[in-house]
Structure 1
Amino acid sequence: MMTMIPIFKTALGEVYEADCVSFLKTVRDETVDLAFADPPFNLGKEYTSGIDDNIADHEYLAWCRRWLDEMCRTLKPGGSLFLWNLPRWNLPLGAYLNEHLTFRHWIAVDIKYSLPIGRRLYPSHYGLLYFVKGDRPEIFHPDRLPVPCCRHCGGELRDYGGYKDKMNPKGVNLADVWTDIPPVRHAKYKKRGANALALKLMDRIVTMASDPGSLVLDPFGGSGTTFVAAELTGRRWIGSELHCGAIIERFHTLDADRDHLVQIHENKNLLFTRADLKRRRTNGKPLPSAYQIQDNELATSCVCGVEKKQIELTF
């Protein structure tokens, strides 16, 4: 097995400037806890690397199968693989993965500001496939989310079948439809020239399917969001990208991502966000009896304290 020299590294991870297949061939068998891939979608997009993003369907799928084979090989037993792509490609690629791994979920991630397509239904989601090597994942810590509340009064938008008072104070179970992921690829939100995924998306995947110290793999580094999420939460990471300038620049200016991640962690694994608690207090909305607190904002800070401390301790 050939070796490569990383173009950039930290105490926790390293990235290689190489094509995905060549890089993956250097990764040892069954060493990865979590593998994530966000490949080009073969939509004819122009990349600065000059790769051809408009090839025949059979060529694209054959190429995808090559790097998927390598990713499956590198996964530990019980390791998790996530594939981010359009539903069109996730259908055949999911069928291929079914021959090698165990299917867990097709997660639909809501697209914001998508444009309509003539003579077709309005496209409204990306597909996030979730597979595991073996019968069940070795690591599985899904986020719990705040209840959806009115942005004016803070009241719940659902009645939860009369069980509102018995709800878990850490929030509601994560479903397989995610509507709370910001659309960073839209011009309004995008901050980098390289492909960028929302930090909230990658934090959710990384913290769900890995532990601090686990190894996270991403052969399509893009702007480095996977690596940043892993770094800030104490995971080891490894990956590749054809041109790593955006990744290196991002790691040299991590303060914004660190602050953003603290905000993300402040609003998960709790029943009400800080903003919703303030609205409820202002409008006299009672809290469920299971959510026993004396001071709303103080309790929110306590619930979030573990996450905030963990992020700080990884630096």
Structure 2
Amino acid sequence: MSWSDYFTDTSFEHMHNDHSFIGLGDSLELLKNTRSASVDLIFADPPYNIGKDFGGVKDKWESKGEYLDWCKCWIDECFRVLKDDGSFYFMNATQFIPYLDVYVQENYNVLSRIVWSYDSSGVQSKRMFGSLYEPILLTNKSSKATYTFNAQDILVDAKTGSERQLIDYRKDPPQPYNTKKVPGNVWEIPRVRFKMEEYENHPTQKPESLLERIILASSNKGDIVLDPFGGSFSTAATAIKLGRKAISFEIEPAYYKIGIRRTEIAHEYKGEALQKDKSRKTRNLSKKDRGQHQI
């Protein structure tokens, strides 16, 4: 199939090569332009409605209800374009995910609730317990639908067997515990830091290791992986490294250009050489820099 077979119309701005297709425009509108039951896996990391600055555009809706209505619209579109045996992961802020969890339960199916846990070097709230995790829902079309889950591809060290080398005396004869296991639903994966090789100048970049686990578990080589909110394009870049094909949408031209470069569609855009922006996402000084600044 050619990329045009996945869309009812390709008159919107886009660029592609054999393994990546990137569309520039409103995610919801581009989703509506995508053919039904055409993709194997979806990962969606939308704006969280918490006021983040995305290139001068802040993700802030007029009300919670308006934001949730928008989320339900793109969630419905994602389920429409998902194959019957496909899987759909999406993230959201802790204060909004319960509403969307219930919505999916009532209309589709929730397979697993995942906690992505990470440490923070910054100062946490002094008036409440600061948040050090983000929730992820693994969903599919119905409780009766089949879905891909490649358990052997995502095994991790089992502390009991690999580190503590304990013996399981319940077995006859007794033998060591397994050294590998399928991860549970709490994933301790570091966030992307400024000096890491994969860092991109984007305020909500997700680590490739997080996407790797999702893509390995819930898709196979040659499958189509869709990310309707391309952002830093970690989903697309990781999917391609793992032998999948990627479709991504992005509304901000600056991030669209990250996708063009990161998925190797082109090395220039409208005469502009595409190079990684290694500047910081924040203007806040590090502790070291603050100390030097005070001298």
Task: Specify the code of the residue in structure 2 equivalent to 1:145.
Answer: V
Q: Distance in 2 between matches of 1:227 and 1:193?
A: 16
Q: What is the CA-CA distance between 1:51 and the residue it aligns to?
A: 4.7
- Report how many residues are paired: 247
| Contact preservation (8 Å) 2:16, 2:265 | no
Amino acid at match of 1:237: A
The range that moved more, 159-168 or 90-99, is: 159-168
Preserved contact between residue 19 and residue 240 of structure 2 (Cα < 8 Å): yes
Give the TM-score normalised by structure 2. 0.75
The amino acid of 2:216's aligned partner reads T
Q: For residue 8 of structure 1, what is the aligned residue in structure 2?
A: 15
Deviation at 1:147, TM superposition (A): 3.1
Q: Distance in 2 between matches of 1:88 and 1:251?
A: 33
Rounded to whole Å, the distance in 1 between the matches of 2:67 and 2:237 is 28
How far off is 1:46 after superposition? Answer: 1.4
Specify the alignment match of 1:196 in structure 2.
Answer: 205
Q: Residue 36 of structure 1 corresponds to which residue in structure 2? A: 43
Residue of 258, 273, 290 corresponding to 1:246: 258
Query: Aligned partners of 1:230 and 1:44: how far apart in 2?
Result: 29
Query: Against the structure 1 CA distance between its residues 192 and 58, is the aligned structure 2 distance closer, same or farther, given a 3 Å change threshold?
Result: same
* Shift in CA distance, 12/31, structure 1 to aligned 2, threshold 3 Å: same
Among 213, 223, 235, the alignment partner of 1:214 is 223
**Equivalent in the alignment of 1:140:** 149
**Retained in 2: the 8 A contact 1:215–1:237?**
yes
Per the alignment, residue 72 of structure 2 pairs with 65
**Gaps spanning 5+ residues in structure 1: where?**
150-154, 255-315
Instruction: Please point out which of 10, 26, 32 is paired with 2:33.
Output: 26
SS at match of 1:14: strand
RMSD over aligned Cα atoms: 2.7
> TM-score with structure 1 length normalisation?
0.71
Structure 1 residues 117 and 51: CA distance shift in structure 2, 3 A = closer
8 Å CA contact 1:16–1:240 kept in 2: the answer is yes
Q: How does 1:107-186 map to 2 (within 5 A)?
A: 107-113=114-120, 115-134=123-142, 135-142=144-151, 143-148=154-159, 156-157=163-164, 159=166, 165-168=175-178, 171-179=180-188, 181-184=189-192, 186=193
Q: Percent identity?
A: 28
Task: Measure, in 2, the Cα distance between the counterparts of 1:49 and 1:30.
Answer: 35
1:182-237: per-residue Cα shift (whole Å, max 9, x none)?
211x4464721123210011011011111111111110001111101111111122
Cα pair 1:6 1:14 within 8 Å, conserved: no
Cα distance in 2 between the residues matched to 1:74 and 1:43: 28
1:227 matched to 2:236: yes
SS across alignment from 1:15: strand
Q: Which one of 50, 60, 66 corresponds to residue 57 of structure 2?
A: 50
- Aligned to 1:87, the other structure's residue is in SS state coil
Post-superposition offset of 1:9: 1.4
**5+ unaligned residues in a row in structure 2: which ranges?**
1-7, 267-295
Considering fraction of residues, name the structure with more helix: 1
Tell me by how many angstroms 1:148 deviates. 4.1
2:110 aligned residue: 103
1:146, distance to aligned residue in structure 2 (A): 1.8
Quick check: 1:45–1:54 contact (8 Å CA) kept in 2?
A: no
- Which amino acid is 1:191 matched to? Y
